[in-house]
Chain A
Amino acid sequence: MGFVEVKELGKRYGEITAVESLSFDIQEGEVFSLLGPNGAGKSTTIGMLSALIQPTSGDARIGGLSVKGRSAQLRKLFGIVPQEIALYEEMSGRDNLNFWGRLYGLRGKALAARVDAILDRVGLADRAESRIKTYSGGMKRRLNIAAGLVHGPRLVFMDEPTVGIDPQSRRAVLDLILDLKREGTTILYTTHYMAEAEELSDRVGIIDHGRLLAVGTCRQLSEGIGGNEHLRVALAGREEGERLTERLRLLPGLTVESEGANVTITAPRVGQLIPKIVEAAASVRAALRDIQIREQNLETVFLAYTGRELAGQGGE
Chain B
Amino acid sequence: MALLLIAWQDLKRSFRDPVGILMTLAVPLALTVAIGLVAGYTPFGKAPNDGFDALSYIAPGMALFFMMFSVRQAAKTTAEDADRGVSDRLRASPASDLSIRAGTMVSHIVLLFLQLAVLVGISTLLYGLQWGPTGPVLLVCLVVSVTAGGWVGLLVVLGRTPSRINALGTALTLIFGIVSRSFAAVIPTTGWMDRLARITPNYWGLHAFSSLALGGSLRSVLPDFGALAIMFAALWIIVSAAGALVPSRR
Contacts and interface: CB of A to CB of B under 8 A. Distances in A.
B221 to A, nearest CB: 37
B5 interface: yes
Interface string A84-100: 11111111000100011
A87 B83 CA distance: 11
Nearest to B8: A99
A291 interface: no
Interface string B76-96: 000000011110111111111
B13 interface: yes
Contact of A84 (B5, B84, B90): B84
Interface stretch (A19-27, A47-55, A112-120): A47-55
A47 B250 CA distance: 8
A73 B94 CA distance: 7
B16 A85 contact: no
A90 B13 contact: yes
A72 interface: yes
Contacts of A103: 2, 5-6, 90, 93-95
Interface of B is mostly: helix
Interface residues of B, number: 24
The CB with the most chain B CB atoms within 10 A, among A82, A91, A103, is that of A103
B84 A104 contact: no
The CB with the most chain A CB atoms within 10 A, among B5, B12, B16, B90, is that of B16
A83 to B, nearest CB: 7
B248 interface: yes
A238 interface: no
B85 A86 contact: yes
Contact of B86 (A50, A83, A88): A88
Nearest to B94: A72
The CB with the most chain A CB atoms within 10 A, among B6, B16, B17, B92, is that of B92
A195 to B, nearest CB: 25
Contacts of B93: 75, 100, 103-104
B92 A51 contact: yes
A10 to B, nearest CB: 16
A80 B17 CA distance: 26
Interface string B118-138: 000000000000000000000
13 contacts: A47-B250, A51-B92, A82-B88, A82-B89, A84-B83, A84-B249, A85-B84, A88-B9, A100-B89, A103-B5, A103-B90, A104-B94, A131-B16
Interface of B: 2, 5-6, 9, 12-13, 16-17, 83-86, 88-96, 248-250
